[in-house]
């Protein structure tokens, strides 16, 4: 059973609904969609409904503190690495190895911000606790 990701890029959300990127971005800028800014672009919950004219505009999230970012359904892989204090190449390697639960949205990798980093393995001949 394939589950949909909790969040996707705004452009992917718009394409899945056959909306133009411009319309979705306009709704986001007006605060009619709950979106947040990521290092890879605007991100939105995959199940976010289209505005129907009856919703009250909500604040567009642009800048969040660490705790607020950890509460989002997804952040970019770079942001996850920053939140957890790991270099991006290491995080990307963990994704490639299947050790981090990330998903692809458009051109970007997204990940739940609270996803725990994999346990570092000891390398033969290396120091104990040396990261992969």
Phi, psi of 76 (to 5 degrees): -70, 160
Question: 74 Cβ partners below 8 Å, 6+ apart?
Answer: 5, 6, 7, 38, 43, 110, 111, 112, 113
Digits of tens for pLDDT over the chain (132 positions)? Answer: 456 789 999 999 999 989 877 888 888 888 888 889 888 988 999 988 888 755 544 555 667 788 888 888 999 999 999 999 999 999 999 999 999 999 999 889 999 999 999 986 655 554 444 444
Give the phi and the psi of residue 89 in degrees, each rounded to 5.
-60, -35
Question: Could you tell me which residues come within 8 angstroms of residue 23 by beta carbon, excluding any fewer than 6 positions away?
Answer: 14
- Model pTM? 0.76
């Amino acid at each position: 059973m394939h589950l949909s990701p909790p969040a996707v890029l705004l452009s992917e959300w718009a394409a899945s609904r056959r909306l133009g990127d411009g319309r979705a971005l306009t709704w986001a800028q007006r605060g009619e969609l709950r979106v947040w800014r990521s290092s890879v672009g605007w991100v939105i919950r995959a199940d976010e409904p289209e505005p129907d004219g009856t919703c009250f505009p909500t604040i567009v999230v642009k800048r969040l503190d660490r705790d607020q970012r950890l509460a989002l359904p997804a952040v970019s892989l770079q942001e996850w690495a920053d939140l957890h204090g790991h270099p991006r190449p290491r995080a990307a390697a963990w994704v490639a190895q299947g050790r981090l639960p990330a998903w692809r949205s458009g051109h970007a990798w997204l990940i739940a911000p609270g996803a725990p980093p994999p346990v570092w393995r000891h390398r033969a001949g290396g120091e104990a606790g040396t990261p992969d």
